[in-house]
Amino acid sequence: MRGHRYRPAVTTDVARPQPRSPGVSGLLEWIATWGAVYSDAVARIARVVLIVSVVVCAGTTAVDVFTTYVLGFSIVIGVDELAAYAFLWTIWMGVSLAVRRGEVTVITFVRDRGPAWLKRAVRTFSGVSIALLLGYCLFRSTQYAVARETLVGRSSLLRLSQFYGVVPMTLGYYFIAIHYLVDVAHGARRLLEQGRASISLVLTSLAGAVVIGAAVMSLAWGIMTAGGSPLIALGVVFVALTFAGNPIIFMLSIVGIVSVTGFAGVQFYPSPDVLFPFRTTQTAMGLSGFSELTVVLMFLIVAEVMNASGMSERLIAFAATLVGHLRGGMAYVCQITSALVSGVSGSAQADAAIMTPLLVPAMQKEGYPKDVAAAVVAGASIKGPIGPISIMFIIYGYLVAGVSINKLLLSGVMAEILLLLFQAGTVYLVVRRLGFFQRRPFAGGAAIMRSGLGAAPVLLIPVIILGGIELGVFNPAQSGAVAASVAVLLAMFWYSSLAPRDLPKVLTMAGLETGIVMLLIGDSAILAKVLQNNGFGADLSAFLTGLTDNKYVFLLAINILLLAVGIFVEPLPALFILAPFLAPIADHFGVNPTQFGLIVVFNLVLALIHPPIGLVIFLVSSLSKVSVERLSIMIIPWLLVSLFVLFLVTYLPSEFVLVVSNHPRGALLVLIGLIAVAALGVVFTTVRQGRRADT
């Protein structure tokens, strides 16, 4: 995963900008110098506001739970409204910091190929589209912040003005514009250093960008003129922006806004309401005063605390004592670790970020080629989004009425077990093919006991989340807040591996990642609402029901559709756009609603390791220093195994696939029994090896 990285040419510790030289170059130098000062200042402001917002959002929810169940009453009034408004500040300050630090996802493998003139034209096309977007958003978000509906609107309980929920969007866009302005000024200065040749470069780049834009919009216009769907035409714009290297969060903004405003005379789904995109985005993210999606922040806090405190390394150490003695054991350790970490993070990207720096070098030391090791980690990481603490399951339950989030969270357990078994089988085949691995000594029961006790408190986190939700004690947001609080307390006081001075950095990273995730959702909500208002659901239903009346053929069509969509669209936006339309059609065919939610999520998750735009592939490639092209080839066996598991999840009876979801307490007893059997096995193995040592 590669990002646009802002690197100011002028250091921010310069107390006073130097006098500028005359001419255009001097003006650009002045803009760049002062811009760097302002960029640094707004980044500092955003970081402070972000930390405070994260603390308010997670803290008020945690305090509400604690006082409600300890004191018998809550001391926090309007906790949902406070958390929702703080969540909006977290999102926009997080996004502005992500842009400042270059943490936004950019697909560059097309943009960086071809002759120099083409690369310049594509980059210019991308830059101009971002400039137009930011200019439009600055104007409209300011208009939205001072609109009468914003100033008059109040939350239901605390009577908070909607202004305080809208203005973070406006400030966020201003901060982002400052960061990009500095980048543009530095680029222009470097260009001017080439002398008169710079004029030719600018003109040819702009001409190339205009030609690309005209070609894209002409193709979109031609599709609609020929009777094609405006959605297909928008898809052309989407793909063009993707391959041009636009940051994904802004690309979705462009498509959403253009869908209602049109561009260059091409209209898609015109709307007279110019504030519709901005109102829809903020409402989806919590402007109404309540957002179940605050759980995204809570889970990401847990993941960041685990990463920063070394708690994830304890899970790896535990897995190593269990299976590290097998031939090629570190790949098996990766499989076990991914299953354990998935119960805590709920995100494939988080799992990959945790495992890649630790396990790829460990597998290399054992004899695995680096590209094979990276593929093992990338393939294993997809257990997170289908595990019991899945952000995507929670969002699916938020979008689709009548589906229990409790059952959704447990629906992926059997799928995760199947993935674990088949991926472990793939490791076995790889080990046999490579053929040069040696067995290691078994760690022994005492080592397993020590590492297991060290990891046990970490493994309590998913128990708290799932147990609280299943027993009806917490809603998902409350459960996530409690889990985040427990993770922080464990890291700071039980393990003493996280100093108080490190906590702001952890909260900043969690808020930054939350901003990226939630803006993807908010931007996706624009297109989802547009499609809903224009009868897309009825059209899709008519198409699929006219295609077949067989449930299994319908499921095959859904799998093909979602896998195709996943090639070009990130899982969360695709889920937000499609799930509300597909779920009612699945009901028509008699598909179990919980199993269908699992099928949808599993399909979209596979896109994370699907070449050419799998985001986990880009992330693991960046961390492991394996080329995207090579990793895209080496991931194929893991992708094929995952597709086979998807086939099983789709077509096996729901009674088997959802056995844990349908019988959670019975499944808990079975799990305890399996743990007891495993413990007896460890004892037996240790005793037997001890006798061999004596003889």
In this predicted structure, the answer to whether residue 409 has a pLDDT above a threshold of 80 is yes
And the tokens for 593?
Answer: 């609603």
**Secondary-structure breakdown of the chain: helix, strand, coil percentages, each rounded to the nearest 5:** 75, 0, 20
Q: What is the pLDDT of residue 692?
A: 54
Q: Check whether residue 221 and residue 370 sit in a common domain.
A: no
> Residue 619 and residue 22: Cα distance in Å, rounded?
44
Task: pLDDT band for 501, please (50, 70, 90 cuts).
Answer: very high
- CA distance from start to end of the chain: 54
Q: What is the pLDDT of residue 95?
A: 95
Q: Check whether residue 693 and residue 647 sit in a common domain.
A: no
> Residue 107 and residue 209: Cα distance in Å, rounded?
18
DSSP string covering 189-219 = HHHHTTTTHHHHHHHHHHHHHHHHHHHHHHH
* Gyration radius (Cα) of the chain, Å: 26
SS3 of 237-251: the string is HHHHHHHCCCCHHHH
**Cα pseudo-dihedral 587, 592, 597, 599, rounded to 10:** -110
Q: Is residue 1, in this structure, part of any structural domain at all?
A: no
> Residue 512 and residue 494: Cα distance in Å, rounded?
27
- Of residues 430 and 131, the one with the higher pLDDT is 131
Name the β-bridge partners of 154: 161
Give the CA distances from residue 183 to residues 3, 33, 247, in Å, rounded to whole numbers and listed in that order.
14, 11, 15
Q: Is residue 264, in this structure, part of any structural domain at all?
A: yes
Contact 388, 466 (CB under 8 A): yes
Give pLDDT tens digits for 349-407.
777 887 888 888 888 887 888 888 899 888 888 888 887 778 888 889 888 988 888 88
Task: pLDDT band for 16, please (50, 70, 90 cuts).
Answer: very low
Contact 75, 81 (CB under 8 A): no
Q: Is residue 155, in this structure, part of any structural domain at all?
A: yes
Give pLDDT tens digits for 95-147.
999 999 888 877 776 777 788 888 889 989 999 999 999 999 999 999 999 99
Q: Check whether residue 479 and residue 401 sit in a common domain.
A: yes
Taking residue 605's Cβ as centre, other Cβ atoms within 10 Å add up to 27
In this predicted structure, the answer to whether residue 492 has a pLDDT above a threshold of 60 is yes
Q: Is residue 417, in this structure, part of any structural domain at all?
A: yes
- Reported pTM: 0.87
Domains in the chain, number: 3
Q: Check whether residue 405 and residue 262 sit in a common domain.
A: no
Q: What is the pLDDT of residue 684?
A: 56
Contact 412, 390 (CB under 8 A): yes
Question: Which of the 8 DSSP states describes residue 113?
Answer: -
In this predicted structure, the answer to whether residue 173 has a pLDDT above a threshold of 50 is yes
Q: What is the pLDDT of residue 667?
A: 59
Contact 454, 383 (CB under 8 A): no
In this predicted structure, the answer to whether residue 315 has a pLDDT above a threshold of 90 is no
And the tokens for 344?
Answer: 């805590």
Nearest to 601 by CA among 419, 332, 353: 419
> Residue 695 and residue 685: Cα distance in Å, rounded?
16
Q: Is residue 529, in this structure, part of any structural domain at all?
A: no
Residue 252 CB contacts under 8 Å (≥ 6 apart), including other chains: 520, 523, 524, 527, 573
Residue 363 CB contacts under 8 Å (≥ 6 apart), including other chains: 330, 331, 334, 372, 373, 376
Q: Check whether residue 418 and residue 485 sit in a common domain.
A: yes
Q: Is residue 693, in this structure, part of any structural domain at all?
A: yes
Length of the chain: 695
In this predicted structure, the answer to whether residue 689 has a pLDDT above a threshold of 90 is no
Contact 606, 571 (CB under 8 A): no
- Of residues 346 and 83, the one with the higher pLDDT is 83
Q: Check whether residue 215 and residue 344 sit in a common domain.
A: no
Task: pLDDT band for 13, please (50, 70, 90 cuts).
Answer: very low
Q: Check whether residue 252 and residue 340 sit in a common domain.
A: no
Q: Check whether residue 656 and residue 672 sit in a common domain.
A: no
Give pLDDT tens digits for 433-490.
776 566 777 777 778 888 888 888 888 888 788 778 777 788 888 888 898 999 999 9
Q: Check whether residue 233 and residue 327 sit in a common domain.
A: no
> Residue 133 and residue 127: Cα distance in Å, rounded?
10
One-letter amino acid of 270: P
And the tokens for 342?
Answer: 């998935």
Q: What is the pLDDT of residue 53?
A: 96
Q: Is residue 222, in this structure, part of any structural domain at all?
A: yes
Show the domain range for 671. 663-695
Q: Check whether residue 131 and residue 260 sit in a common domain.
A: yes
Task: Tell me what the pLDDT averaged over the chain comes to.
Answer: 84
In this predicted structure, the answer to whether residue 206 has a pLDDT above a threshold of 70 is yes
Q: Check whether residue 282 and residue 340 sit in a common domain.
A: no
Pairing of strands 105-106, 2-3: antiparallel
> Residue 24 and residue 174: Cα distance in Å, rounded?
25
Q: What is the pLDDT of residue 450?
A: 84
Give pLDDT tens digits for 537-583.
888 889 888 888 899 999 999 999 998 888 778 888 889 889 999 99
> Residue 484 and residue 248: Cα distance in Å, rounded?
28
Q: Is residue 411, in this structure, part of any structural domain at all?
A: yes
Average pLDDT for residues 239-261, to the nearest whole number?
89
> Residue 396 and residue 461: Cα distance in Å, rounded?
22
> Residue 622 and residue 206: Cα distance in Å, rounded?
31
Give pLDDT tens digits for 619-670.
888 788 888 888 888 888 889 999 999 999 999 998 888 887 777 666 555 5
Give the CA distances from residue 108 to residues 119, 267, 575, in Å, rounded to whole numbers and listed in that order.
11, 29, 24
Q: Check whether residue 353 and residue 467 sit in a common domain.
A: yes
One-letter amino acid of 416: E
Q: What is the pLDDT of residue 233?
A: 92
